[in-house]
Amino acid sequence: MDITGIIKNELKTQASAILKMADRLDASALQQAYQFLADCKGKVVLTGLGKSGIIARKISATLASTGTASIFLHAAEGLHGDLGMVQSADVVIAVSKSGAGSELISIIPFLKFVKTPLIAFTGNASSPLAEASDVALDCSVPQDSEPLGMIPTSSTTVALALGDAFAIALLKGRNFSLQDFARFHPGGSIGKQLLLKVQDLMHTDEDLPRVNSDAQMDEAILSMTSGKLGCTAVTDQNGKLLGIVTDGDLRRQLQIHPQGLLQQSVTQCMTAHPKRLKPSDLALAALKLMQEHSITMLPVVDEDDKVVGMLHMHDLIRAGVVSQTMSG
């Protein structure tokens, strides 16, 4: 068997199903569904059964992580008491390929009773679910796009993609920021990237290598060695940043002044006007700046441009903001 060809063809089939749905979806229906979600004063309840239920659970998780209060309700469990989760201020999204599952259909009268808006993601526009919903969105796929015409692959993919699309639309609609995202992801590497700030990691006080602008290179090298960061900041008499001397600067100057480097002025050997950070900058922003300019250390300055710290790539690695593999 041509395994590679099979896998690539399946990926193309599912990608094609998403593109066809995007072209097919009615603009007014999309707008109406979005408005229900944007105006929701309660929470968005996702429900479904089987593979569709798994997709519904993932959509709910994506909504919750991007600032839209959301829970998952198993349709069968709803019939045995869990419908108490649903309130009139909520909006329900039901995911079902057939739109005819008995458990799913059985909860519709309750939703009508509490007057909860119902949005259907379904592959059958004439199904009981579609007809009972306030908005029905066509997630149908050709039968030949599913293995054996039955196994849910493309159908679950398009439903998931549609749910993610709504999550992103809601995110943009409420100007959801990186800082907002961080509040919902305090743990793990994501939390570290989004919550840690430069001031949490930078070297300060006695650990901050720096020399005045009237120093010579012998003093700068001593500062670089004692600071163990491979660099030293160069400041004026008021502590304002003028430049930085790094290992790279040192190697370049050794080629230019192989004999008299130690007597050279630091202002002649430093990199003037270096990239810099503020203590309140996110550690993730520091990482991006380092990667963008292929540098491994950055001075940190206050509002008056006075040097208050130094941040090295190794500090980001130790804190878990970046892995050793990425840094290499």
Instruction: Write the pLDDT tens digit of every residue in 153-181.
Output: 999 999 999 999 999 999 988 887 666 66
Residue 244 lies in a domain: yes
Domain that holds residue 304: 195-327
Residue 83 lies in a domain: yes
Q: How far apart are CA 266 and CA 49, in angstroms?
A: 70
Of 144, 176, 208, which one is at a domain's C-terminal end? 176
Residue 189 lies in a domain: no
Give the three-state DSSP class for 209: coil
Residue 289 lies in a domain: yes
CA distances from 131 to 31, 119, 178 (A): 18, 11, 39
Angle at CA of residue 210, ends 209 and 212, nearest 5°: 165
Asked which of 64-78, 178-192, 279-293 is least confident by mean pLDDT, the reply is 178-192
21 lies in the same domain as 155: yes
pLDDT at residue 182 tops 70: no
245 lies in the same domain as 121: no
Of 176, 208, 223, which one is at a domain's C-terminal end? 176
200 lies in the same domain as 167: no
The CATH number assigned to the domain holding 211 equals 3.10.580.10
217 lies in the same domain as 247: yes
Is-contact 310 295, C-beta < 8 A?
no
| pLDDT tens track for 199-248 | 999 999 888 999 999 999 999 999 998 878 889 999 999 999 999 998 88
71 lies in the same domain as 164: yes
164 lies in the same domain as 268: no
160 lies in the same domain as 51: yes
Residue 46 has a pLDDT of 97
Residue 67 lies in a domain: yes
pLDDT at residue 195 tops 80: no
Residue 290 lies in a domain: yes
Of 149, 176, 203, which one is at a domain's C-terminal end? 176
52 lies in the same domain as 172: yes
Residue 182 lies in a domain: no
Total domain count, the chain: 2
Residue 291 lies in a domain: yes
Neighbours of 207 (CB within 10 A): 13
The CATH number assigned to the domain holding 52 equals 3.40.50.10490
Q: Which of 58, 39, 38 is nearest to 48 (CA)?
A: 58
172 lies in the same domain as 240: no
50 lies in the same domain as 135: yes
pLDDT band (50, 70, 90) for residue 327? very low
229 lies in the same domain as 110: no
| pLDDT tens track for 91-114 | 999 999 999 988 999 999 999 999
47 lies in the same domain as 161: yes
